[in-house]
Structure formats: C-alpha cells, structure tokens
C-alpha cells in the first residue's frame, strides 16, 4: 500500500506570496493532519480534517487554512507568506481518529 | 497545560551499546503515547505506540518502550544500537477517548552513534 505523499517536496516563495501544499493520504485513511516543523518551535499541530470536516485547529494565524476533499486528499494554503513561515510542513493520515498517524516526507517551504 | 518533555537534546552512544531515550508527559489523563523517528530530510516514521494494556510495548527495528503511569513516563529503549539508528527521535502524546488525532510532540532527541 502506498504511503502518504506530499507535493511539492520543495518550494521557494517570496514574502507576500501565497502557497498551496498537497497531501494524499494512505488509501482508506479518512483523517489527515498537518504539522509545521521548525528548528526553533519543533513540531506544531496546524489542523486536522476528517471526512471533509475540520476537527481541530492549532494556534496559527488565519493566514493558514486547509481543506479536505471527498477522496480524503487534503490541501493547506498559506497566504501573505512571511519569512517565519519557512519550515517543513508534514502531513499525516490515519484510518480513524484517534489512531496512529503515518507521516509523509514533507514539503520544505523556504520564504525569501 | 498538556506537554511532552524529552530531557536529552542530544545523546551519543557507541555502536552495540544499549540506549534509553527519556520522555515525560503532563496530561490530565493517561494519553495515547507514541515514539517516532526522523532521518535527515525525511518525514516521521512510527516506531511504536501505547494505547492501553501491557505497559511494555514492542516496536519496529528492535525498539521497545515502557509506560510508567506513576512517573508519567514513556521511555524508549534498544538493547544494542546500530549505526543506522542515528536519527532524531520524537515522543508524542494524543488525547485518549476523544475524536481528535492531534498530537503534541516533544522537542526531540538527536541520537549520534559512534563506531
């Protein structure tokens, strides 16, 4: 069974631009969560989707948003990028909630 | 507030030596407990999990962890470390019995293995 896939793997954007990251969960998994990983703050929860509904949201500004489609694929969007948004964005999926989560390889976002 | 503490930021062990990585949590009830490993430039791989039952859990790659309720700890162990175990290790907790999969992670422990 294929693992969690994330696209693109690497991205360079300019401050003020917006970006969309994509996540395809493991087949059959209905829950998708997003995390931001930085050297200073570590791994921080962004949001979680289950059956197209946002179940939980972390403590991030409204510039961070996401959605989930009927096939469980998920996207997250960051508008008006700031330098501090440079991070590894990780997506994780699980069959149901709560359960162990399986992580994708991440998207490395660099904001210049 | 809910939190996870990994007291050791960096650990160096010799290949073949035993390993113990510490994890302490602060939570209102016994949470679900996880250990993940991350190699450079990679995502997180689940090593093992504890939901309930036997407090000694076995994971992949020869790792095990022991849940101690009285100490609010979930330490990861391996009897003999291999050079390929060099990576960053994260302890995480999740809320039990709820409808969210939100995980709270510790700051991570970087493991270096000496030949």
Residues of chain A with C-beta less than 8 angstroms from the C-beta of B106: 42
Instruction: Say if residue B92 is preceded by a cis peptide, omega within 30 of 0.
Output: no
pLDDT at B98 over 70: no
Inter-residue contact A105 to A69 (CB < 8 Å) = no
Confirm or reject contact between B62 and chain A (CB < 8 A).
Answer: no
Taking CA–CA distances from A104, the nearest residue in chain B reads B43
Mind listing the pLDDT tens digit for each residue in A3-22?
999 999 999 999 999 999 99
Is B101's Cβ below 8 Å from some Cβ in A?
Answer: yes
User: For residue B28, what pLDDT is reported?
Assistant: 77
What is residue B2's predicted lDDT score, i.e. its pLDDT? 85
Question: What's residue A98's pLDDT?
Answer: 63
Beta bridge mates, A35: A45, A90
Condensed to tens digits (0 to 9), the pLDDT of residues B62-73 reads: 999 999 999 999
> Is B46 in contact with A90 (Cβ distance < 8 A)?
no
Contact B44 A4 (CB under 8 A): no
Evaluate if residue B1 carries a pLDDT over 80. Answer: no
Nearest Cα residue in chain A from B95 = A98
Among chain A residues, CA nearest to B44:
A103
The verdict on whether omega for the bond into residue A16 sits within 30 degrees of 0, i.e. cis, is no
State the pairing for strand pair B73-78/A107-111: unpaired
Q: What is the pLDDT of residues A38-89, one digit of tens each?
A: 999 999 999 999 999 998 899 999 999 999 999 999 999 999 999 999 999 9
State the best of B32, B52, B102, B108 to mutate against chain A, taking most chain A CBs within 10 Å. Answer: B102
Instruction: Indicate if the pLDDT at residue B76 is higher than 90.
Output: yes
Checking if the pLDDT of B41 tops 90, the result is no
CA distance A102 to chain B (A): 7
pLDDT of B6? 98
């Amino acid at each position: 069974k294929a693992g969690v896939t994330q696209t693109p793997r690497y991205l360079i954007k300019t401050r003020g631009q917006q970006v969309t990251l994509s996540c395809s969960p493991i087949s059959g998994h209905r829950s998708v969560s997003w995390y931001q990983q930085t050297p200073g703050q570590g791994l921080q929860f962004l949001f979680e989707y289950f059956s197209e509904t946002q179940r939980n949201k972390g403590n991030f500004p409204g510039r961070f948003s996401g959605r989930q489609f009927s096939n469980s694929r998920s996207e997250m969007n960051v508008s008006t990028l700031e330098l501090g948004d440079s991070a590894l964005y990780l997506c994780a999926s699980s069959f149901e909630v709560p359960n162990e989560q399986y992580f994708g390889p991440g998207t490395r976002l660099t904001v210049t | 507030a809910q939190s996870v503490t990994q007291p050791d930021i960096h650990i160096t062990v010799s290949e073949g030596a035993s390993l113990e990585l510490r994890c302490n949590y602060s939570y209102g009830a016994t949470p679900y407990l996880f250990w993940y490993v991350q190699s450079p430039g990679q995502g997180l791989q689940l090593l093992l999990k504890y939901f309930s039952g036997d407090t000694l859990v076995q994971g992949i790659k020869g790792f095990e962890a022991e849940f101690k309720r009285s100490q609010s700890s979930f330490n990861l162990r391996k009897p003999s470390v291999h050079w390929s175990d060099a990576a960053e290790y994260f302890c995480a907790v999740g809320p039990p019995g709820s409808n969210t999969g939100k995980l709270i992670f510790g700051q991570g422990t970087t493991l270096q293995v000496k030949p």
